[in-house]
């Protein structure tokens, strides 16, 4: 059998260093890297819609997403959702729709990050939206971020079924893109891998005490 290595730090996954390692046969990352992910697992009710947030965006995730998306390390795709993989099958009850990259970013990277994130777990992510401008929302002023509605559009010939829609995204920085997407798609709920601390702080009063079905 070939030796397995952590997709993040390249440490051997076949060595036993802790009790947890005995149950790591199907992991793609080592125990040390697994501990770098710090779940917050919170739900926020925003405009009568539940937003399920798995992680708080921090320096570790920022570096990991940069490596995955901008350095095009597509092999990292399975690591972000590994912790909750057993619960992801519930997403198959929905039409899972994702926010899109601009055409320029997609051509540069050669892949669509959101689609690849969910692919290892058999979740198909649909792309009914597109951007008319490659602008990065987090780099814009508050006023310009509000103009995302003029940039994010729904594809006219992209049909969706009558199933409930689950809107997904990897990182919520300001929330402007997700809010615009909610207006275009009217999803049942939203699932976000990681939210920026400032967004979490701004929406703290909207948090609800409820167990998420996604973890």
Domain identity same for 49 and 142: yes
pLDDT (tens digit per residue) in 49-67: 999 999 999 999 999 999 9
Domain identity same for 57 and 27: no
Q: Is 115 helix (H, G, I), strand (E, B) or coil?
A: helix
According to DSSP, residue 126 is labeled B
Instruction: Give the CATH number of the domain where residue 133 resides.
Output: 3.40.50
Domain identity same for 196 and 176: yes
Domain identity same for 106 and 122: yes
Domain identity same for 56 and 152: yes
Domain identity same for 30 and 97: no
Task: Specify whether the CB–CB gap between 189 and 208 falls below 8 A.
Answer: no
Domain identity same for 165 and 91: yes
Task: Specify whether the CB–CB gap between 30 and 51 falls below 8 A.
Answer: no
215 inside domain? no
213 inside domain? no
204 inside domain? yes
Q: Outline where DSSP puts E strands in the chain.
A: 39-46, 49-56, 95-98, 129-131, 152-154, 165-172, 189-195, 207-208
Dihedral over Cα of 151, 154, 158, 160: its sign:
positive
63 inside domain? yes
114 inside domain? yes
Nearest alpha carbon to residue 187 among 39, 40, 52, 42? 52
Domain identity same for 30 and 58: no
214 inside domain? no
CB atoms inside a 10 Å sphere around CB 118: 21
The residue range of the domain holding 20 is 1-36
Domain identity same for 11 and 114: no
pLDDT (tens digit per residue) in 102-132: 888 888 999 999 999 999 999 999 999 999 8
Place of tokens 């997407």: 181
Looking at residue 146, its pLDDT comes to 60
Domain identity same for 9 and 69: no
Domain identity same for 182 and 115: yes
* Helices and strands of the chain, counted as H and E runs: 7, 8
126 inside domain? yes
Averages of pLDDT over each 10 residues, the chain, 215 residues: 87 71 70 94 97 98 97 97 94 96 87 96 96 66 63 94 97 95 97 98 97 94
Domain identity same for 63 and 165: yes
The number of distinct structural domains making up the chain is: 2
């Amino acid at each position: 059998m070939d030796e397995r290595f952590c997709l993040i730090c390249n440490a051997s996954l076949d060595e036993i260093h802790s009790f947890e390692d005995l149950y790591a046969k199907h992991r793609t990352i080592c125990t040390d890297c697994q501990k770098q992910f710090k779940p917050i697992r919170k739900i926020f009710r925003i405009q009568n819609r539940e937003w399920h947030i798995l992680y708080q965006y921090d320096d570790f995730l920022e570096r990991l997403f940069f490596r995955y998306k901008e350095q095009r390390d597509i092999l990292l795709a399975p690591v972000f959702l590994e912790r909750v993989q057993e619960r992801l099958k519930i997403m198959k009850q929905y039409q899972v729709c994702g926010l899109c990259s601009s055409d320029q970013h997609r051509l540069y990277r050669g892949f669509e990050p959101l689609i690849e994130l969910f692919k290892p777990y058999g979740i198909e992510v649909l792309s009914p939206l597109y951007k008319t401008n490659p602008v990065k929302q987090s780099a814009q002023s508050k006023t310009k971020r509000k103009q995302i509605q003029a940039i994010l559009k729904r594809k006219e010939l992209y049909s969706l079924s009558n199933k409930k829609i689950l809107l997904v995204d990897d990182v919520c920085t300001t929330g402007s893109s997700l809010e615009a997407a909610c207006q275009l798609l009217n999803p049942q709920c939203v699932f976000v891998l990681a939210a920026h601390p400032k967004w979490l702080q701004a929406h703290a009063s909207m948090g609800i005490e409820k167990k998420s079905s996604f973890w």
